[in-house]
Chain A
Amino acid sequence: MSDSLNQLKALAAPAELRRAPVVENNQGLGWLTDKLSAFAEGKTPLWWWILFIPAAFAATVIFPTCLFYQVFTGVGVWGNNHPVMWGLDIVNFIWWVGVAHAGTLISALLFLTRQHWRTTIGRMAEAMTVFSVMMAGLYPAIHVGRAWFDWFMFPVPNSNGLWPQFRSPLMWDVFAVNTYLTVSTLFFFMGMIPDFAVLRDRSTTRVRKGIFTFLAMGWTGSARQWHHYEKAYLVLCGLCTLLVFTVSSIVGLDFCTAQIAGWHATIFPLYFVIGAVFCGFGMVLVILIPLRKWCGLEQIITMSHIDKVAKLALVSGLIIDYIYLMEFFIAWYSGDPYERWVFGHRLFGHTYMVLGWMLIGINVGVTQLLWFKKVRSNLALLFIIGVLINIGMWCERFVIVVGSLYQEFLPSNWGKYMPTIWDIGLYIGTLGAFFMLYLLFVKFLPMIAIAEVKGAMPQADPHHRLGGAQKEDGHE
């Protein structure tokens, strides 16, 4: 017995090559259940209120004020005007869709590739997806100017006998964003059903018990239920993975089907997908790093997980850098004077060149810091890099949208764009609404997928010593 153990030990990989455990200081399934449901059940801490009150103020005062003023008055309250008809509304739309994408990538694509570490951050990333798609979907709806005619975008039989024009990518966008919202919400909800059952069984008050009994829908955790559940989860993961690559591609198509210099490039669908994922990883870092500390989840969301998210941010950042290089190269290589003009002015023009250099400085420059392990293990620095990535990607969308529109083909047609206070107010309002919803989610719902994390533990493996495997079992 001891001989074979020694042999095994000799064969085991050296410490630096061994896979990090999903959860550190693992003390069993009961301990994990207590730990993961503690925040949703405990007393609301002070930091939560300090964050919640300003977020709720932005969401319930600034947001409706800017929204209603714009809807009642018209798009003219924004800075949008000829020739820049797409301003902050579309910039923010793309930015919010982008933030959503990393959540789906983490929860769906990493599930398909069997990355166990995703279980601990998947739920938080999914919540980010659901709430940011909500914010994204709002923008096109009000950007049309007459929000009460939004139903024209859907194929609803009407007395005018008109139908939407389905050859336009803008029309595809309507379908893509609505599908994204629906599917990510379904996925989010379905993933929580077993965890609602956990909170139901742990609840001590009648009200809590009633609410979670209703939400858990009769979940008992039987093998037959898990059997159907796992299949449905797999199918949803596959479909969500399709959406990661589809939704932003279609947003990219909105641009590249237009003839505008700087937009009319075949690289756009890929460009927008990778940009979205990169931006989203920035947001994941911004959300994870403070929450893991304040909610006492250091042993669950380990440094190894943060390190992996940072590495994924680096990979997507490098692809983005490659795309920038290609964009500039093709603009030069095409020999098209308009293309060359637009791309030259992104960096050496006036007015917007600051944003162009911020884009390069952050997305090309700051991203390279993530190569270093010292940086990836420094939480404060990672948080700042996360914020910077979000700013950098916002600048990129601004440069693409406004930078191509303000100097069109005819110099007599040139103009400037400056966002007004209503543009900025609405953006602050959506940020507030996003963080308000996120804080409510963190406080009241299981913010970590309890059942999934348990399933990734050695105690959950019937073929592992800790899972109760015995010698005579052998291997299945």
Chain B
Amino acid sequence: MSDKIYGLMAEFNTPGDVLRAAKKVRAAGYHRWDVFSPFPIHGIDKVMGLKNSMVGWVSLAMGGGAFVSGFVLLWFSNAFDYPLIVGGKPMFSVPMTFVPSYILMVMGGAIGALVGMLALNQFPRLHHPLLHKARFELVSRDKFVIVIGSTDPGFSLTETRQLLESAGGLNVDIVEDKD
């Protein structure tokens, strides 16, 4: 076998099954593993011990940055670089900056959310070892899959396979890394 092993995958039929199996995998002490499903499963974050996603912070940073940039832009353009008298108002005041800065904050926050999501998921990625498996195509349909990666310190072809089978996994199979 010339290909490296990426990991072992096991199929499940319902979200309830995969959730119970995930608890067992976590209890067995694995770190490099993941659950694949056609939709987000309620409660899986807790079972896998996933921390709060950083996407919110990326969005906040970009949204806040955009708000401040808007504020500075308005001061620079209408009060500093080309002072403009409008209706006898002061050259610069905080209320006048609010609406454009706020709109820019929404824009920045939205771009931050998308970029943050893509970056944290390491997208775009056109190849993935799992996408070569024919059975894995069913994950976007109605199957649920647990994959335990071969880079996990506790990974062993026999014991890991036993664990997945005892947890109710069907069609336990080796995933090759063809890169």
Contact = CB atoms under 8 A, between A and B. Distances in A.
User: Is B a genuine binding partner of A?
Assistant: yes
Interface of A: 28-30, 33, 155, 161-167, 169, 171-172, 175-176, 178-179, 182-183, 186-187, 189-190, 194, 197-198, 200-202, 213-214, 217-232, 235-236, 239-240, 242-243, 246, 250, 451-452, 454-455, 459-464, 466-470, 473, 476
B117 A228 contact: yes
Given A155-B77, A239-B113, A463-B42, A198 B140 contact: yes
Contact of B117 (A162, A229, A242): A229
A153 to B, nearest CB: 12
B35 interface: yes
A230 B111 CA distance: 15
Interface string B26-45: 00000000111111111111
A461 B44 CA distance: 11
Contact of B124 (A162, A217, A221): A217
Chain B, interface SS category: helix
A165 B84 contact: yes
Contacts of A454: 38-39
29 contacts: A28-B142, A155-B73, A165-B86, A166-B77, A166-B78, A172-B100, A179-B106, A183-B107, A201-B137, A201-B138, A218-B121, A218-B131, A220-B136, A221-B37, A221-B38, A223-B44, A228-B55, A229-B117, A232-B114, A235-B109, A239-B106, A240-B110, A454-B39, A460-B15, A460-B39, A463-B16, A468-B13, A468-B16, A476-B43
Contacts of B124: 214, 217-218
Interface residues of B, number: 76
Given A167-B89, A175-B104, A201 B141 contact: yes
A473 to B, nearest CB: 7
B97 interface: yes
B39 to A, nearest CB: 4
A468 B121 contact: no
| Chain A CB within 10 A, most for which of B14, B73, B86, B116 | B14
A235 B55 contact: yes
B53 A227 contact: yes
A29 B38 CA distance: 9
